[in-house]
Amino acid sequence: MSTLDTIIIDGLAFALPMFIMAIGGIFSEKSGITNLALEGLQGFGAFCGGLTAVLMLRSFEGSSQIPYYVSFIAAIAGGMIYSLIHVALCIKFRANQVISGVVVNILAVALTVFLAKRINDGVFGQPSNKFVLETSVRFSVPGLSRIPVIGAIFKNVYPFEVMIIVIAALMWFVMYRTPFGMHLRACGDNPHAADAAGINVNRVRTIAVMISGGLSAIAGMSYAYSITSNFSPDIFLGYGYLSIAALIFGNWSVLPTLGACLIFGFARSSGQALITQLGMPSSYNDLVRILPYLLTLLLLIFFSKHNNSPRALGEIYDKGKR
Amino acid sequence: MSDSGYIIEMKHITKRFPGLIANDDVSLGIRKGEIFALLGENGAGKSTLMSVLFGMYEPDEGEIFLRGEKVRIASPRKATEMGIGMVHQHFRLVSNYTITENIILGSEPLKRVLGFIPCVNMKKAEADIAALSEKYGLKVDPKAVISDLNVSTQQRVEILKMLYRDAEILIFDEPTAVLTPQEIEFLLDIIRGLRDSGKTVIIITHKLEEIKSVADRCAVLNRGKLIDVLDVATTSTAEMARLMVGREVSFTSDKTEAQPKETVLKVEGLTVEGEAGNEAVKDVSFEIHAGEIFALAGVSGNGQNELADAIAGLKTAVRGRIYLNGTDITDLSIRKRTEAGVAYIPEDRHNVGLVLPFTLSENLALKRYYKDGFSKKTIIDRKAFEENGTRMIEEFDIRSSRGNKTVTAAMSGGNQQKAIIAREIALKTPLIIFMQPTRGLDIGAISNIHKQMIAERDRGAAVLLISLELDEIMDCADTIGVIFDGRINRIAKASELSVNEVGRFMMGVEDKQGGGTNKVRTGGTAS
Amino acid sequence: MKKLIVKLMGGERFQTMRVSLFCIITSLIVGAAILLAIGKNPLAAFGNLLQGSGLMPKSSYAGRQNMFTDFMSFLDALTPMIFASLAVSAALKAGLFNIGVSGIMLASGFTASVLVGQSELSAFIAKPLVILIGIAVGAIVGALIGWLKYKFNINEVVSSIMINYILMYIITFFINTFFVDPISRQSKTITDSARLTLSGTRAFDLKFDVSLAFPLAIICAIVIKFLFDRTTTGFEIKAVGLSRKAAKYAGMSVPKNIILSMTVSGALAGLAGVTYFCGYFASIQPGVVPSMGFNAIAVALLGNSDPIGCIFSSFLVTVISKGSIYMSSQQGVEMEIADLITSVILIFTACAEFLKMYVGRLSMEQGGSEEAGEA
């Protein structure tokens, strides 16, 4: 396989989960709730999914794909439930949404590590904070994958990448074509207008944050099945924050955000390819890992000045305000 | 079913808020097909009463009967279902949505994609809106985006929103506050048309002429209590005013003739950028003399904010010069300008004029905290803050629960404004800018502020008054300038201009004496 | 119940403090519930926390150790926590969230370890130098975050997190490549003369650690308190933090104050870094961001971002984290339960404003009903 193929394959595998997480962020922020909690949501989702997979693998044969898909469903459910903490803090208890996001993230680390240790100790009888997963199987599309360069898109694809693309398209439709999407965007621009039109602002926002929880969990689970090949505290590497940077850079709309995610993904994979090509020691990988973060900062420098964040973003909606 | 002929009856409505009773045992009946006005000062409880009717608040006591049946209106949604619609004073529009999207929001027509996926039928919606606007003579472009529209068109969208939902009872909260006289006439015509097509209209207002011109009956509220319900045709405006304020009022302010002296502020060819990078103020020139009130009239959003901010230094000028007493201050920082002699009462007292979580004494020292007497070598003198606060609180009658220590966020709007004005006047500067100084205040507070403004003029200050309220401009101005689309298209002595002339210039009619033809420019309010 | 809440937290006197206390106690109850759920005795576990921090005697001690040595070691852990929480609160005063404390700690700790920690300098020169380097490195990174904020409008939360990871990976690279100790897999241990903790001091038949920087932490808290309460600079920073527009209108320089507060915050975070990595510890573990930087957010919020409040809240959180080691060994509970309790405290603290509002409304209602009762 050529280096270019590797760059494309690895880049997509990194970028697409980030993209679905960023879509979750867009849902939340377009409804008016700042969501720094993506990091914690993806981690908690990965925890739930990882646990489910490990438990199921004991009763299914090694080749069965059922645990793989069930673990994604469990991750989504876990992410959505865990996002209710952000909902409660932001909507019910009217906390500062930035603080709430940070708190939810800190709790996610503490809670998942604690639970993982306890469960490993209690159920599996081994002291560890990891759920070891197999790296997901991959497939290549016959024919298409033989096309030079572009064919790499169809080569060694993780099943979750397909899932993400389908869900992303669906989410785009929900956001821009359905009544719910229209209500959601209205809540983020002028919640008073939405309220006057008979829309329950807090309900819409609750659903939006839960959607972000579910989508982030897909991302977390995808990373657990690819980059880390386990659930461990290593899942909290700031990818959630990177996806926030991606959506800011993408100006809160879906397609430009995809572009941002792809840039991060390819920056990362080409850096790693470079290290391999030059035959440098593995410790140099740490230098390459900086790339997505550094790129984020640089891109933000150029794109933060005139962004169109949703007008009511971060404001606590107070209906009874006189 | 009662045969009283009332479509709405509100009986013994009482609504309390922490610290005040907004509605105190109010009972009203409104007939089908009439225009009913609610008259009262700011804070009289008109808006609260209508918010109760529209389901935004639930009354603490009392009952509402709709078409003879007792109803509980728990939410705006319920109210809409019952055929009640309301245009709020601050429009409830989604700024980045089109007119159609705004109107259908919450009751979208659907179509099924692939037979089952629900999706908004935008084509049908746009056709519906076009038909509706045709029917009621409310012309709008269904595809225009709200943020590109002027206030009067936005108001039309709000009216269409109610009609789209088949509202029978239409409530207007202070609908004319932000319109020019000509736009007001147009609106009142629409309202009459709505009545004639069988709708019931309720207008909340404190403007007597409008009631006289459009309403059939009128209820007067004062401090939460219903004073009387009047037949408009047989009642004089003077009588209505007396009932509204609770005492005799004189309509003329006792202002002496201005004694203008030397030029204090001179603005030359000033151009300022707006938020969106457009030219919000274009090549504006004018002068203000010591002892003169220069009032700038204009419809909201025609560059007034940018002009005031540019003079005070909050915005930088793209082109042009600003001179204060002959010195060029165009490139000075905000602080240097304050020290050179510019005081500024900003429009937004919550976000700009005050640091709301600060205490009153801190806010009263906000422009002088670094000076000798307030601090020594950067160490703050708390005692000096308190003494300064106490002095101003007494002199300007600023009322609050804990005096100097009150957090300004907890103060009433009127007292917050008093605090800002006190602080700015105490700077004793040659130029004072009053930007919308009386917005949202009651009549007592308004006349007080007007007196202070005139007193400052008589002290010898140059006063720049920027207001959207034409009454205020006509009452206070010595000289009137009218701004439209970033240009001042008329400057004249107040005595030489009538209300209607000012109104016409506010809509962009070229000044004949300026050599231009008498035409309406695009981008104006006419459509 | 409602009456009780109003009685406990109503009124204005020390309300903030009472609300904080309420949050802490509720969190401890939640923590106790978790401990009960996993079959442990919460009272014993909480007692272990105090014992582990040297605030309560243990049943037995190893040679040359007693409660005093535990307490001295506790102070050693407390010192960087005070600095870190002061760093967060200094930024909070200007309305900024400095989440970059962790990265700054790493950067200053690493720089000092490399420049001074391996040198032959005498203690009198090395120790002040370590402190100065900590301040300088922290101030530079802090100022950078502030500059990005005002110049490019980059959300400081996002930028400081990016900077955290960038610094972490760079430092990991350098440690692994140039400064690694082959046995411990950590960075090379610094010399005793550079270390801000006198490790293994012997007196009264005891062997204990002395945190030389602890008095400095207390002095810093007082200085910061004075800065914000009594100086025009503090007045300006607070105004900028509460309302950018109003501050600008009043003629204050918003950029200057944003950068200034982030510089102060960074310098304090730098001090946290050197007292942590060149004091409490003497080496750096590569590949990890110190969690203290994040816990400091909790601590600062709990202390109502008041410098003196930070001392008390640091004390509490350090008792939990430091004592958790002993608790873990005594009760057989995962050490992470300490982080869990800290996060629960943080959740309740995030609701503190709501609590105050809620109490205000309740007391208003009760006041109202009492009047009605009299009439």
Domains (range + CATH), chain B = 8-245 (3.40.50.300), 250-341+431-444+459-527 (3.40.50.300), 351-428 (no CATH)
Cβ distance A194 to B107 less than 8 Å, yes or no, reads no
Cβ distance A189 to B102 less than 8 Å, yes or no, reads no
* pLDDT tier at B510, thresholds 50, 70, 90: low
**Tokens standing for residue B406:** 């009150």
What residue numbers bound the domain in which A196 lies?
A: 16-137+154-252+309-321
Per-position DSSP letters for C128-158, written without gaps between them: HHHHHHHHHHHHHHHHHHHHHHHHH---HHH
Which residue numbers of C have CB closer than 8 Å to B's CBs?
230-233, 235, 238-239, 242-243, 245-252, 361, 364, 368
Q: Which residue of C has its CA nearest to B349?
A: C246
Name which of C242, C245, C248 is nearest B358 (Cβ-Cβ).
C242
User: Which phi and psi (to 5°) does residue C228 adopt?
Assistant: -80, -30
Instruction: Among C13, C232, C238, C242, pick the best mutation site for testing chain B contact (most B Cβ within 10 A).
Output: C232
| Predicted pLDDT at B176 | 83
C4 domain-assigned? no
User: How do residues C343-353 score in pLDDT, each as one tens digit?
Assistant: 888 888 888 88
| Higher local confidence (pLDDT), B4 or B295 | B295
Residue whose token pair is 């199987």: A137
| Cβ atoms C223, C233 nearer than 8 A | no
pTM: 0.85
Name which of B18, B312, B380 is nearest C235 (Cβ-Cβ).
B380
If you count residue pairs, one on A and one on C, with CB atoms under 8 Å apart, how many are there?
130
Mean pLDDT of A181-202: 91
* pLDDT tier at A320, thresholds 50, 70, 90: low
Name which of A94, A95, A283 is nearest C177 (Cβ-Cβ).
A283
User: How do residues C142-153 score in pLDDT, each as one tens digit?
Assistant: 999 999 988 888
A65 domain-assigned? yes
Cβ distance A102 to C157 less than 8 Å, yes or no, reads yes
Q: Which residue of A has its CA nearest to C332?
A: A118
Q: Cα distance from B379 to chain C (closest Cα, Å)?
A: 4
Cβ distance C249 to B380 less than 8 Å, yes or no, reads no
Q: What is the C-alpha to C-alpha distance for residues B155 and B304, in angstroms, rounded to an integer?
A: 21
* CB contacts, 8 Å: A296 with chain C: 158, 162
Name which of B76, B96, B120 is nearest A189 (Cβ-Cβ).
B96
| Predicted pLDDT at C186 | 84
Mean pLDDT of A3-30: 92
User: Is pLDDT of B252 > 80?
Assistant: no
| Predicted pLDDT at B254 | 65
Picking from C149, C135, C158, C155, the residue whose alpha carbon sits closest to that of residue C265 is C135
| Predicted pLDDT at B481 | 94
| Predicted pLDDT at B360 | 93
Looking at chain B from residue 361 to 390, which residues have their Cβ under 8 Å from any Cβ of chain C? 362, 366-367, 369-370, 375, 378-380, 382
Cβ distance C249 to B353 less than 8 Å, yes or no, reads yes
| Predicted pLDDT at A295 | 85
Classify B173 in phi/psi space as left (phi over 0), alpha (psi -120 to 50) or beta: beta
| Predicted pLDDT at C352 | 84
Q: Which residue of B has its CA nearest to A170?
A: B117
A193 domain-assigned? yes
User: Is pLDDT of B203 > 90?
Assistant: yes
Q: Residue C284: give its domain's CATH number.
A: 1.10.3470
| Cβ atoms C158, C148 nearer than 8 A | no
| Predicted pLDDT at B426 | 92
Name which of C152, C170, C336 is nearest A117 (Cβ-Cβ).
C336
* pLDDT tier at C228, thresholds 50, 70, 90: very high
Q: Check CB contact of B159 with chain A, cutoff 8 Å.
A: no
A22 domain-assigned? yes
A316 domain-assigned? yes
Name which of B338, B346, B356 is nearest C251 (Cβ-Cβ).
B338
* CB contacts, 8 Å: C230 with chain B: 379-380, 382
Q: What is the C-alpha to C-alpha distance for residues C67 and C78, in angstroms, rounded to an integer?
A: 16
Mean pLDDT of A204-210: 96
Chains near B with 3+ CB pairs less than 8 A apart are A, C
Classify A156 in phi/psi space as left (phi over 0), alpha (psi -120 to 50) or beta: left
Q: Name the strand (E) or helix (H) holding B174.
A: none
User: How do residues B50-96 score in pLDDT, each as one tens digit?
Assistant: 989 998 888 999 999 998 889 999 888 889 889 999 998 888 899 88
A52 domain-assigned? yes
| Predicted pLDDT at A61 | 66
Cβ distance A301 to C347 less than 8 Å, yes or no, reads no
Which residues touch C343 (CB under 8 Å, ≥6 apart)? A103, A106, A107, A110, A111, C298
A275 domain-assigned? no
What percentage of chain C carries pLDDT values higher than 90? 37
* pLDDT tier at B523, thresholds 50, 70, 90: very low
* pLDDT tier at B127, thresholds 50, 70, 90: very high
What residue numbers bound the domain in which C208 lies?
A: 62-314
User: Is pLDDT of C101 > 60?
Assistant: yes
Q: Check CB contact of C170 with chain A, cutoff 8 Å.
A: yes
Q: Check CB contact of C36 with chain A, cutoff 8 Å.
A: no
Mean pLDDT of C338-364: 83
If you count residue pairs, one on B and one on C, with CB atoms under 8 Å apart, how many are there?
64
* pLDDT tier at A63, thresholds 50, 70, 90: low
Cβ distance B351 to C235 less than 8 Å, yes or no, reads no
| Predicted pLDDT at B98 | 92
* pLDDT tier at C292, thresholds 50, 70, 90: confident
Name which of A182, A311, A322 is nearest B105 (Cβ-Cβ).
A182
Q: Measuring CA to CA, how many Å separate C66 from each of C56, C212, C328?
A: 10, 20, 19
* CB contacts, 8 Å: B93 with chain A: 190, 193
User: How do residues C252-288 score in pLDDT, each as one tens digit?
Assistant: 999 999 999 999 999 999 999 999 999 888 888 888 8
User: How do residues A229-278 score in pLDDT, each as one tens digit?
Assistant: 888 888 888 889 889 888 888 888 899 999 989 988 998 888 888 888 88
| Predicted pLDDT at B499 | 83
C55 domain-assigned? no
Helix axes C156-174, A285-303, angle to 10 degrees: 160
Chains near C with 3+ CB pairs less than 8 A apart are A, B
User: Is pLDDT of C321 > 50?
Assistant: yes
* pLDDT tier at C374, thresholds 50, 70, 90: very low
Q: In a 3-state reduction of DSSP, which class is residue B12?
A: strand
Mean pLDDT of A200-204: 93
User: How do residues B337-388 score in pLDDT, each as one tens digit?
Assistant: 999 999 999 988 888 999 999 999 999 999 999 988 898 888 999 999 999 9
Q: Write the burial class of residue B144 (CB in 10 Å: 0-12 exposed, 13-18 middle, 19+ buried).
A: middle
Name which of A100, A118, A287 is nearest C334 (Cβ-Cβ).
A118
* pLDDT tier at B149, thresholds 50, 70, 90: confident
Mean pLDDT of A137-151: 77
- Encoded amino acid at C72, one letter: M
| pLDDT, averaged across chain B | 86
Looking at chain C from residue 299 to 338, which residues have their Cβ under 8 Å from any Cβ of chain A? 301, 334, 336-337
* CB contacts, 8 Å: B370 with chain C: 232
| Predicted pLDDT at B446 | 83
Cβ distance C158 to A284 less than 8 Å, yes or no, reads no
| Higher local confidence (pLDDT), B493 or B441 | B493
Least confident of B161-165, B280-284, B306-310, C357-361: C357-361
C364 domain-assigned? no
* pLDDT tier at B224, thresholds 50, 70, 90: confident
Name which of C231, C252, C361 is nearest B379 (Cβ-Cβ).
C231
* pLDDT tier at A306, thresholds 50, 70, 90: low
**Strand B479-484 to strand B375-376: parallel, antiparallel, or no bridges (unpaired)?**
unpaired
For chain C, the domain total comes to 1
User: Is pLDDT of B136 > 70?
Assistant: yes
* pLDDT tier at B248, thresholds 50, 70, 90: low
For chain A, the domain total comes to 1
Predicted ipTM of the assembly = 0.84
User: Is pLDDT of C15 > 80?
Assistant: no
